[in-house]
Structure 1
Amino acid sequence: MGEGFVFIEIVIFAMIAAFLVYRLRSVLGRRTGEERPRPNPFTAPPARPDNVVAMPPRAAADAPYAPDEPVSLAEALKQIHAADPTFDEKTFLQGARGAFQMVVEAFAAGDTATLRPLLSDDVYDNFVQAIRHRQSAGETLETRIDRIRDADVIEARLDGRDALVTVKFVSDQINLVRNAAGEITDGDPKQPVEVVDIWTFRRNIRARDPNWALVETRTPN
């Protein structure tokens, strides 16, 4: 009698289990082999097929640069700002003024450590060569900038990832050259002279480094 009741209970439990399995399948569905696997957030995303093309970044889309199509200075500055929203002409010129004074004074003092992060490789090499030539001749250069009268952007362009901005500096300076005996061989310590410099600065707009580097120096023709 007891064994009969146990058998009935087993049958009842089996029926309940079968019913639950049926309900679960009707709610969750069955796998057909065509379902997409759920992405694992802790694994790298799968590589894109060759026929999938990523959308271009906003910088490239908003500010294309066509070297064969000259643009105005204002338009060039707009392109740089579109590619790098942090660019501001007024702020840039403030930094350019500071860089101008630092570079001029460091060059006169032969301070290559200060010059290194401010200059491109080519400009740095030229500056170092001039410093060494001066030192080998036993000469020293003393430079004092009385004031920077003007600093204006005269050229700009966006060349791929590089923004290039050219500034014309007009300053009053006292430049003295002394020989090994300390005698002045060039310059007047009491008479500042007007000096006009045209410098071009460059920055990779995709780089995290916000600093600009001096890539070219020249004087007006």
Structure 2
Amino acid sequence: MDIWTLIGGIAAIFFAYRLYTVLGRREGHMEAPTPGNKPAVSTDPDKTPHLRPAFVGPAAAGLEAIAGADNRFDPDTFLTGARSAYEMIVHAFAAGDRKALEPLLAPNVLDRYTAAIDQRADRGETVRTEIDRIKTAEITEASHTDSTARIKVRFVAEIATETRDSDDVVIAGDLGRLTPVTEDWVFERRTDTGNPNWVLTRVAAV
């Protein structure tokens, strides 16, 4: 074997190793798909398959677990829905709209909200609530246990509320004054059913 053949062989081994280090590693969420965790594949034959990147942040591990059980799950889409649910629940509770609350609340939460609405009605009180804006909505915790996905969202909002008695006299609050509100809302859904809807299971002031 001459010196040039030897050098060529060494070079081939070197480039083969470099190719493996670049293409052979699993980056982000590029693990082999399983029945419950498939990478999204474009239906356009001219486009290469799209692989979802790994989640980041304090709830990353829990979000990965949820995505493993439901490959359609997307945190950004979830947060958009959570913000809408926040506004709908706050307004429906103030208006005493039980039917609007039913599909959005877990049974235990619905019972508490309904009891509060009934007590308010017995006193002849009415409530108006206006959300000026939701400043932030951030996923702070996530988990998937026993086929139940659970996500905690911290909402920071500016809200004005006012309560009037049966004589239409203001007895609490002021619609002209915004109050900063920070709350943790916990949403849950079953991942072993075809129902994609999340329900509110707990609210805690921060």
| Both structures adopt the same fold (TM-score exceeding 0.5) | yes
Partner of 1:153: 139
Partner of 1:176: 162
Q: Equivalent residues in 2 for 1:1-221 (5 A)?
A: 58-59=35-36, 73-220=59-206
The amino acid across from 1:142 in the alignment is R
**3-state DSSP of counterpart to 2:103:** helix
Determine the C-alpha separation between the residues in 2 that align with 1:204 and 1:189: 38
- 1:148-201: CA deviations, max 9, x gaps? 000000111111110000101111111101111111111122111111121100
- Kindly state the Cα deviation for residue 59 of structure 1 after the two structures are TM-superposed: 3.9
The amino acid across from 1:84 in the alignment is D
The amino acid across from 2:192 in the alignment is R
Determine the C-alpha separation between the residues in 1 that align with 2:169 and 2:72: 48
Q: 4+ residue runs of structure 1 moved beyond 3 angstroms?
A: 57-60
Determine the C-alpha separation between the residues in 1 that align with 2:144 and 2:100: 27
Determine the C-alpha separation between the residues in 2 that align with 1:105 and 1:132: 16
Can you give the 5+ residue segments of structure 2 that lack an aligned partner in the other structure?
A: 1-33, 38-57
Determine the C-alpha separation between the residues in 1 that align with 2:134 and 2:195: 27
Q: How many residues align?
A: 153
Determine the C-alpha separation between the residues in 1 that align with 2:35 and 2:149: 16
Determine the C-alpha separation between the residues in 2 that align with 1:195 and 1:183: 25
Please give the root-mean-square deviation of Cα atoms over the aligned residues, in Å: 1.4
**3-state DSSP of counterpart to 1:200:** strand
- 1:117-162: CA deviations, max 9, x gaps? 1111000000000000111111111101011000000111111110
Determine the C-alpha separation between the residues in 1 that align with 2:74 and 2:98: 29
Structure having the higher Rg: 1
TM-score, L = length of structure 2: 0.72
The answer to whether the Cα contact below 8 Å between 2:183 and 2:203 also exists between their aligned partners in 1 is: yes
Work out the percentage of aligned pairs sharing the same amino acid: 37
The amino acid across from 2:204 in the alignment is R
Determine the C-alpha separation between the residues in 2 that align with 1:180 and 1:142: 14
**3-state DSSP of counterpart to 2:174:** coil
Determine the C-alpha separation between the residues in 1 that align with 2:145 and 2:123: 41
Determine the C-alpha separation between the residues in 1 that align with 2:177 and 2:90: 18
**3-state DSSP of counterpart to 2:149:** strand
- 1:48-69: CA deviations, max 9, x gaps? xxxxxxxxx9449xxxxxxxxx
TM-score, L = length of structure 1: 0.67
- Kindly state the Cα deviation for residue 89 of structure 1 after the two structures are TM-superposed: 0.5
Determine the C-alpha separation between the residues in 2 that align with 1:205 and 1:75: 17
